[in-house]
Amino acid sequence: MSAGKRGALIIFEGCDRSGKTTQSRLLVELLKSKGIPALPMNFPERSSSIGQVINSYLTNSKDLKDEVIHLMFSANRWEHMNQMKQKLLEGHTLVVDRYSFSGVAYSSAKGLDFDWCYAPERGLIKPDAVFYLRAPPNDLTNRGQYGEERYEKVEFQSRVAKVFDRLCANEASYWHQFDASQPVDELHARIASITEELLPTVATQPLDTL
Ligand code: DGP
Ligand code: NA
Ligand code: NA
């Protein structure tokens, strides 16, 4: 990697079971196969002490006030920012399964104020692209394991989807919306082509913040 060329911050967002995990894995594999340094990441990152509290909350073994868990999800992103910045500046492209927008979408869906939800995300590294995998929540219940964790209820997921739609409209300059019900390989091909166009463009741009 030549000096001064940074990697891209690429985020996958969408409701539970929308295919983010599969698509982010395929994208990392493709980039690596082309010799492009790429690292997978996942939020919430459940291994830190904050991440372990989040995991207990999601698996319903712990209850926390909506505001408290919101700030913990945000703190979980903040605790990884230095490491992410360093990796990006070293030339790694980060492919991340969920980010700040899940924070806004899931907490707004509970009724918390949109701007209040967004506030703790301000200052985090701004993604170069968000790939929003959009699907009607009714379609998602047919996919594996739906319903095991706290938020995996159709009615709640439809409210989450509405907030993602709003974010997608607000942040249209770097959001790319896809129909999540299309075949995995077709979706991957679309995502791959946008990513390959994006990488040389952002390589010389400074990192920005949300
Ligand atoms: P995942 O491991 O990506 O499937 O995420 C686990 C669950 O946590 C999923 O239902 C989405 C939800 N989630 C992810 N990030 C946040 C966040 O920042 N805030 C809230 N309230 N929920 C989140
Ligand atoms: Na999930
Ligand atoms: Na995730």
Instruction: Determine the residue type at 58.
Output: L
207 assigned to some structural domain: no
Query: Domain total for the chain?
Result: 1
**Which residue minimizes the CA distance to atom 5 of ligand 1?**
44
Report the residue among 76, 102, 116, 117 best suited for mutation to probe ligand 1: largest number of ligand atoms under 8 A from its CB. 102
Mutation probe of ligand 1 site: the residue of 24, 71, 106 with most atoms within 8 A of C-beta: 106
* 97 DSSP β-pair partners: 12, 42
Q: What is the CATH number of the domain that holds 74?
A: 3.40.50.300
**8 A C-beta contact, residue 160 and residue 109:** yes
Distance 137 CA to ligand 3 centre (A): 17
State residue 154's pLDDT score.
87
Domain of 102, in residue numbers? 9-202
Q: Is 147 within a domain?
A: yes
pLDDT digit string (tens) for 47-89?
999 999 999 999 999 999 999 999 999 999 999 999 999 999 9
In this predicted structure, the answer to whether residue 35 has a pLDDT above a threshold of 50 is yes
Q: Which residues, by Cβ under 5 Å, contact ligand 2, an ion?
A: 16
User: Over 90: is that where the pLDDT of 147 sits?
Assistant: no
Does ligand 1 lie within 6 Å of residue 108's CB atom?
Answer: no
Q: What pLDDT, on a 0 to 100 scale, did the predictor assign at position 148?
A: 78
Higher pLDDT, 149 or 83: 83
Quick one: what percent of the chain has pLDDT higher than 90?
A: 88
Grouping H, G, I as helix, E, B as strand and the rest as coil, residue 201 is helix
| Residue 138 pLDDT > 70 | no
More confident of the two residues 146 and 122 = 122
Q: Domain for residue 170, yes or no?
A: yes
Q: Is residue 159 part of a domain?
A: yes
Answer whether 129's CB lies under 8 Å from 174's CB. Answer: yes
Specify if 165 maps to a domain: yes
Is 208 inside any structural domain? no
Residue 62 lies in a domain: yes
ipTM of predicted complex: 0.97
- Residue 56 in contact with residue 46, Cβ under 8 Å? no
User: What percent of the chain shows pLDDT beyond 70?
Assistant: 93
Does 209 fall in a domain?
Answer: no
The answer on pLDDT for 1 being more than 50 is no
**Residues 6 or more apart in contact with residue 1 via CB below 8 angstroms:** 37, 90, 91
